[in-house]
Structure 1
Amino acid sequence: MTRPPVFAIEATNLTDERSTGIGRYTRQLIEALSVLDVPSEQEFNLLQMCKRSRWPLRERLAHGPRLSSACWWGPVWPLPRPDCALMHVPDERQPPWRVPVVATVHDLYAALDINQPSEKKRLHKLRHYEHLRDTCARLICVSENTRQDFLHFVGGDPARFTVVYPGVSPLFRPHDPDQIDAVRLRLNLERPYLLFIGATPNKNLERVVQAFAAGRFGQDFALVVCGQHTPEAQAALAAHAASLGVSAHVLAIGFVSDADLPALYAGAAAYLFPSLYEGYGLPVLEAMASGTPVLTSDRGSCPEAAAGHAVIANPEDVDALAAGIAAAVSMPQAQRTAALAYARTRTWEATARGTLAVWREVLAEHG
C-alpha cells in the first residue's frame, strides 16, 4: 500500500504571543487542511514545523487529525532530509532543506516602500522576495493584485503563481444583541460606534479621523480605534483628535483579543478600512461576514476583497471618505445581506483545497 505523502508547513509564527495577520492565516490554513475530507486515494499527512528556539512554546501550535509537529534546526550542516515530500512556507522563516518549496506571498509592502521601519529591513524583505522567486516550485498569492504586483516589481514565470484566497473564520458572523452588549460592557463602549482596526501607516487613520470630524459623525457615533499603537502614536492620535474637536468621540482601546473581536465587528454601525495598500484585506470580509457594512478604498486589493459589496472611496480624499462613511452607515439591508452571503463563500475549506491542489501539482512534477 502506498504511503500517503507528508506535507510540511513552517508554523513558528503560531508561537507568537499575539497573532499577526500571517499568523492567523497559518493557523486557519493548517486547521482546515487537518480536517479536510478527501478520497482515500488522495489521503495525506501534515507536519507543522517549529524552529528549535520556539519549541518550548509548542503548546501554541495547531491541533487536529492527520497533524503532527516537529522542531527544526538551522542553519546547520549537514542537514538531514526531512520525512516530507514538500515544504510550505507561509512566512519568512524557511528551513534550509532540499525539498520542493511552496510559499505564500501576502503583500509587496517593501517593493512599494510602505510600512517599512528602516531601509535595512526593506532591503532584507526585497531579497526575500527574490529568494522566493528563484527557489520556490510555486508561489501562492493571496490576491490577483498581489500576484500582479509581484510579477511587476520582482518578476518571475507567471505560470508558477497561483491565486488562492484566504478564508473567513466562522467566528465572524452576526451576533445576538446580548453577546454584543457583553463585549461593549467589557470594553466600556457606551455609544453606537464606527470601528477602525490597525496601527500601521497604510491603514490611513489620520484621514479617517479627519473624515469623522468633517462629517460630524460624533453627533451619533464614537470612533473606536483598535490596535497596538505605540505611546507616541497614541499621543499623536489624541493631539490630532483634539485639534479637530472630536477628542470626546475618538476612543483608542488598544489591542482587542481574538475572543472579543467577532462581536466587536458585529456591533459596529460600520467598519472603516480605507487602506492605502493591502495584500488582500481580509478584515473587509470579516466585517461583511459579521453583517457589518464596510467602507474601504480603491487601492491595492481592497476592491478585489470587497467584490462590489462595500462602499469604495479614494483613501486620500477626506471629503470622499466622509461621504463613504455616510453611505456605509445608511447601506440598505438588501446590500448588507448580499455582502454577508458573499463573505460566507470565502471559506478556509476552499483555501485548504486550493492550497492542496497546488501541492499536488508540485508533487507530480517532482515525484
Structure 2
Amino acid sequence: MSRPPVFAIEATNLTDERGTGIGRYTRQLIEALSALQVQPQDEFEVLQLCKRSRWPLRERLAQGPRLSSRMWWGPVWPIPRPACSLLHVPDERQPPWRVPVVATVHDLYAALNINTGDEKKRQRKLRHYEHLRDGCARLVCVSENTRQDFLRLVGGDPARLKVVHLGVSPDFCPREAAEIDAVRTRHGIAGPYLLFVGSTPNKNLARTLEAFAAGGFARDFTLLVCGERSQAQGEALASRLAALNLTDRVRFVGFVSDANLPVLYAGAAAYLFPSLYEGYGLPILEAMACGVPVLTSNRGSCPEAAAGHAVIADPEDIAALAAGIGEAVAMTESRRAAALAYARTRTWEATARGTLAIWREALAER
C-alpha cells in the first residue's frame, strides 16, 4: 500500500502571541483537516512548517491526528528538506522548495491602496500578488469578490483561482445570560450595548461614530469598541467624541481575547461592521452565529458573506448607516433565527474539504 500524500502548510503564524486573522484561518484550517473523516484510500498527512526563528515556540502549533511539524530555514536550506507532495502558503512566508504550491488569497488591500500607509510594504505586497499569480499551481480565494478583484487587479488564469469560503468556529454561538453578565462585569459594561470590533481604517469607525450620534442611539446604548489603537489614534478619537458629545457613551476596551469575543458578540444588541472593504468579512458570520443582528456594508465581500441575512448600508452615507443601525437593533426574531441557521452552515470542515480538493487537483495536474 502506497504512503498517503504529505501536504505541507507554512504555519509559523500559529506561534504569534496574539493571533491575526490569517493566523486564525491557518489554525482552524489545520485543525479541521486533522479531524476530517475520509476513506482509507483518500488518507493524507499534514506537515506544519515553522521557521527556525520561531521553532522554540512550536508547542503553539496545532495538535491532532495526521499532524506533524518540522522546522524550515530559508532561503538557504542547510538540512534535508522533509518529503512532501505539495506546499500550502497561507501568508507571505514560503519555503523555497520545488514542489507544487497552493496559496490563499485573503484580500487585495495593497492593490486597492487600503490600510497601506507604508509604500514600501505596499509595493512588496504587490510583488507578492504577482509571485502568487506566476508561481502557484492553484490559488484559494476566500470569496468570489476576492477572486474577481485578483483577476481584475493582478490577472492570471481564472481556472487556477478557486473559491473556498471560510468557516465559523463552534465557539461562536448564543451564550447563557450568566456568562454574558460575567464578561460585561469584567469590562465594566452597564446596560445595553452595540459592538464594534477593529482598528484598521477600512473598518470605518469614524463614520460609525457619526451615525451613532446622528441616530440618537446614545440615549439607549453604549457603543463598545474593541481593538488596539496607538496613542495618536486614541487622542484623535477622544477629540472627536467630545465634539459629538459621546464621551460617556463610547467605551474603548482594547484587545479582546478569543475566549471573550464570542461572549461580547452574544451580549450585544447589534454588531456594527460597516467596512469599506473586506476580503471575506468573517466577523459578520461570527456575530450571526452568536444570534446577534448585524449591520454591514455594500462594499467588498460583505454582502457575499452576509448572504441576505444582515442589514446592508452604504458605508460612506451617515444617514444610511444611522438608519441601518436602527433596523439592525429592531431585527425580528425570525430574521435573527434565519441568520443563525445560515451561519451554522458555514463550517471549517467544509473549508477543509474544499481546500483538500484543490490540493488533490493541483497534484493530479502535475
User: Is structure 2 residue 75 aligned with structure 1 residue 75?
Assistant: yes
- d(CA) in 1 for partners of 2:81 and 2:171? 39
Structure-2 residue corresponding to 1:276: 276
Q: Deviations over 1:259-282 (max 9, x none)?
A: 101100000000000000000000
Indicate conservation of the 8 Å contact 1:79/1:97, yes or no: no
Q: Which runs of 5+ in 1 are unaligned?
A: none
Give the match's secondary structure for 1:248.
coil
Structure-2 residue corresponding to 1:6: 6
Q: Deviations over 1:326-359 (max 9, x none)?
A: 0000000000000000000000000000000000
Structure-2 residue corresponding to 1:92: 92
User: Is structure 2 residue 362 aligned with structure 1 residue 351?
Assistant: no
Indicate conservation of the 8 Å contact 1:75/1:96, yes or no: yes
Q: Deviations over 1:73-123 (max 9, x none)?
A: 001156744310000000110001000000000000000000003111100
Give the match's secondary structure for 2:248.
helix
Pairwise mapping of residues 14-53 of structure 1 onto structure 2 (< 5 A)? 14-53=14-53
Give the match's secondary structure for 1:139.
strand
How far did residue 235 of structure 1 move?
A: 1.3
Structure-2 residue corresponding to 1:174: 174
Indicate conservation of the 8 Å contact 1:166/1:347, yes or no: yes
Pairwise mapping of residues 1-367 of structure 1 onto structure 2 (< 5 A)? 1-76=1-76, 80-366=80-366
For 1:221, the aligned partner's letter is F
- d(CA) in 1 for partners of 2:365 and 2:38? 21
For 1:199, the aligned partner's letter is S
For 1:44, the aligned partner's letter is F
Aligned length: 366
How far did residue 178 of structure 1 move?
A: 0.6
- d(CA) in 2 for partners of 1:12 and 1:136? 20
Q: Deviations over 1:135-171 (max 9, x none)?
A: 0000000000000000000000000010000100000
How far did residue 238 of structure 1 move?
A: 1.2
For 1:208, the aligned partner's letter is T
Indicate conservation of the 8 Å contact 1:81/1:98, yes or no: no
- d(CA) in 2 for partners of 1:264 and 1:322? 22
- d(CA) in 2 for partners of 1:272 and 1:77? 47
- d(CA) in 2 for partners of 1:348 and 1:82? 27
Query: Sequence identity of aligned pairs in percent?
Result: 74
For 1:131, the aligned partner's letter is H
Indicate conservation of the 8 Å contact 1:82/1:97, yes or no: no
- d(CA) in 1 for partners of 2:233 and 2:223? 16
Indicate conservation of the 8 Å contact 1:34/1:64, yes or no: yes
How far did residue 237 of structure 1 move?
A: 1.2
TM-score, normalised via structure 2 length: 0.99
Q: Deviations over 1:23-61 (max 9, x none)?
A: 000000000000100000000011000000000111111
For 2:194, the aligned partner's letter is L
- d(CA) in 1 for partners of 2:190 and 2:56? 42
Give the match's secondary structure for 2:235.
helix
TM-score, normalised via structure 1 length: 0.99
For 1:34, the aligned partner's letter is S
For 1:204, the aligned partner's letter is N
For 2:362, the aligned partner's letter is V
Distance 1:79 1:117, change over 3 A: farther
For 1:331, the aligned partner's letter is M
- d(CA) in 1 for partners of 2:19 and 2:232? 23
Give the match's secondary structure for 1:76.
coil
